[in-house]
Amino acid sequence: DTGVSQDPRHKITKRGQNVTFRCDPISEHNRLYWYRQTLGQGPEFLTYFQNEAQLEKSRLLSDRFSAERPKGSFSTLEIQRTEQGDSAMYLCASSLGGGTYGYTFGSGTRLTVV
Amino acid sequence: AQRVTQPEKLLSVFKGAPVELKCNYSYSGSPELFWYVQYSRQRLQLLLRHISRESIKGFTADLNKGETSFHLKKPFAQEEDSAMYYCALSGGVGAIFGKGTKLSVKP
């Protein structure tokens, strides 16, 4: 287990297209988080899963965003009808339990919408 | 509302000088606070947690509930400490991060 993996590392897409990102967490971690980070800002919480259940969604997560974690393993984040404002780094993190021991982050997927 | 404030965008010091990166938080319950660090071209990684009261790479941070602060300190900065530092608050759901402080340690 080499940590949290995210794929792809970079994605350039045209406005209006759909994109999907994948995250593979540390296998022992039952919680998985998605964050978005734009230039000059810290990571902003989007959503999290405990096992396969999506327990919380930020108001930042518009109807165009959907996330899944089938079988409580890897997770996907899909953005439909992308807009230029969706351009950002999308970070995935995982933790054991409620995060008392902190999160382990992936390298992120940088999305550019042109 | 839960909030984390890092008032300094950039902190520049000379090697060997003391460093203090400020973090203030707003939270109604018992917070769990963390410092994360991101070195150039590397992923965000956990530096330390307030509950462990540990020193990592010479850095320490003390939770001051009266002042709602969790400042990160190091007595003698090294060039390899240059990085982005983020303070984070975990309130049971997704952690909330500050905007970060870029630490630049000059030779």
Segment B82-92, tens digit of pLDDT: 999 999 998 76
E-assigned strand segments in B39-100: 45-49, 60-61, 72-74, 83-90, 96-97
Encode pLDDT of B63-100 as tens digits. Answer: 998 999 999 999 999 999 999 999 999 876 789 999 99
B6 neighbourhood in chain A, CB within 8 Å: 42
Task: Choose among A40, A41, A100: nearest Cβ to B32.
Answer: A100
Is the minimum CB–CB distance between B72 and chain A shorter than 8 Å? Answer: no
Separation of first and last alpha carbons in chain B? 41
> If DSSP codes are grouped into helix, strand and coil, which group holds residue B105?
strand
Distance, CA of A73 to CA of A108 (rounded, Å): 18
Residues A98, B90: C-beta atoms closer than 8 Å: yes
State residue B97's pLDDT score: 96
Residues B51, A100: C-beta atoms closer than 8 Å: yes
How many angstroms separate the Cα of B61 from the Cα of each of A77, A108, B22, B79? Answer: 34, 27, 10, 20
How many other β-carbons are positioned within 10 Å of the β-carbon of residue B62?
A: 11
Residues A47, B94: C-beta atoms closer than 8 Å: yes
Task: Choose among B43, B49, B94: nearest Cβ to A105.
Answer: B43
> In a 10 Å sphere around its CB, with 0-12 CB exposed, 13-18 middle and 19+ buried, how is residue B106 labelled?
exposed
The closest alpha carbon to A91, from A77, A81, A102, belongs to: A77
φ and ψ at residue B40, rounded to 5 degrees: -55, 130
Distance, CA of A65 to CA of B81 (rounded, Å): 37
State residue A64's pLDDT score: 96
Residues A103, B46: C-beta atoms closer than 8 Å: yes
Residues A48, B93: C-beta atoms closer than 8 Å: yes
Å between A17 CA and nearest CA of chain B: 28
Q: Specify the pairing of strand B96-97 against strand B24-26.
A: unpaired
Residues A100, B49: C-beta atoms closer than 8 Å: yes
Residue B55 binned pLDDT confidence (cut-offs 50, 70, 90): confident
pLDDT along chain A (114 residues), means of 10: 90 98 94 95 94 88 93 94 97 88 95 98
